[in-house]
Amino acid sequence: MECPHLTSSVCIAPDSAKFPNGSPSSWCCSVCRSNKSPWVCLTCSSVHCGRYVNGHAKKHYEDAQIPLTNHKKSEKQDKPQHTVCMDCSSYSTYCYRCDDFVVNDTKLGLVQKVREHLQNLENSAFTADRYRKRKLLENSSLNSKLLKVNGSTTAICATGLRNLGNTCFMNAILQSLSNIEQFCCYFKELPAVELRNGKTAGRRTYHTRSQGDSNVSLVEEFRKTLCALWQGSQTAFSPESLFYVVWKIMPNFRGYQQQDAHEFMRYLLDHLHLELQGGFNGVSRSAMLQENSSLSASNKCCINGASTVVTAIFGGILQNEVNCLICGTESRKFDPFLDLSLDIPSQFRSKRSKNQENGPVCSLRDCLRSFTDLEELDETELYMCHKCKKKQKSTKKFWIQKLPKVLCLHLKRFHWTAYLRNKVDTYVEFPLRGLDMKCYLLEPENSGPESCLYDLAAVVVHHGSGVGSGHYTAYAVHEGRWFHFNDSTVTLTDEETVGKAKAYILFYVEHQAKAGSDKL
């Protein structure tokens, strides 16, 4: 929005010596000393924490307004009011009087100058920190200590995502997708779209809640978020701009209540796919995809029109086979998919942990077999037989006609009872490498020995008892090391810990290694 309060509130010099030392993204709140979500006041350059930490930035604004109540209106207008502050991580500007993010600037361009100064401070701190880390890594003994795998060692170069208020569902999905290399690299290599026309030409675009739908781009904000991860320039990144775009185009996710991570993932992929189909900045994304030799036409799966990177990587095809039990008529239908939702077989639902002694452990193979086994449809799902001209009892079976490059498996842990939605807390054993999907293919004889093998890339885990509560985290492998992503905290972990997780969503990538591996 265009803020009318900048002239009276932006008073600090762009290169003010009053700024704290060090990297702006790690500056500490002057009240509580927290380095999470630091904001700098553009009136006095004091640093306070954001509203999702302890809210001292807002309190600083409120306290500054109290002395003004004893002055006349004309005196108020002349006195600085501490209403505008800047996020030290994303460099977006916020006005507390307008209660919204700001896209305009002062006549002298002070906001942009402060932004550029903070970016320079951040880059200088990053360069110095990178040099320091390089020197440390040259010492093998120090290196081994830094990379020691345990639950409390902070990961090097990994960036967390700040929780904006029950947004762990979004953070877990974003961290998982950022570790699917081919998918992530495509977005990071897209050209940036950061310029606006008219008064704000040449300045960065900061999306706000007051802008119309035509002014937001999910692809662009998703690209910016992916670029911010794995750079090592900050311990945590605030995905505010992306979250506001989500609010704009996905009404189901407005507000700060807990959401379903799988539902968010599907909405995110679907909207990315639709926006990529529509082209971006005058260049069709589908045309750009066709020029990418690593995503050839044989790997594409079209959903709702032309193929995009979403369908080229996540897209597969199912064959749905239905047989009438009265006349034997067979009906076949091919359905594209981006993920497979698997039931946990009922006989395993009482087994909550891997080490529990009451019977065999449920495996991912059990869930896949339950999905693809022949099933007789019940009375509520009678099949309309075109030969019998009426609804009849029938059987249904799924085959996988085409496997995707990245196989996303969703375990259906939430189900409705008479009055509420309960969680199936059963542990499901899953392989970290060598998942063999050949036996679920429609024509397995046409597949090579390595083409049906998958290795685990990421896991989303739900902690808690219900879909509307609890907490989401993610495990992902990056350059051979496993990391645990818990909002702004990222730690190194090991394969044993990952294997014990009660998975909710599993991301498997095509097996690349030639060496033998354990098969499912």
Catalytic residues: 168, 471
**Looking at residue 445, what DSSP letter applies?**
G
Residue 4 CA to residue 174 CA, distance in Å, equals 35
- Helices 168-178 and 261-277 meet at what angle, rounded to 10? 60
Query: Could you tell me where the DSSP H helices lie in 164-239?
Result: 168-178, 181-188, 218-228
Residue 449 falls in which region: left (phi positive, over 0), alpha (psi -120 to 50) or beta:
alpha
Work out the widest C-alpha separation in the chain, in whole angstroms: 89
Phi, psi of 223 (to 5 degrees): -60, -45
| Beta-bridge partners for 483 | 476, 492
Phi, psi of 97 (to 5 degrees): -70, -40
Q: In 3-state terms, what secondary structure has residue 464?
A: coil
**Looking at residue 200, what DSSP letter applies?**
G
Element (H, E) at 8: helix 6-9
CA atoms within 13 A on the CB side of 128: 9
Amino acid identity, position 191: P
Residue 520 CA to residue 515 CA, distance in Å, equals 16
Cβ atoms of 181 and 517 within 8 Å: the answer is no
Query: Could you tell me where the DSSP H helices lie in 216-260?
Result: 218-228, 240-249
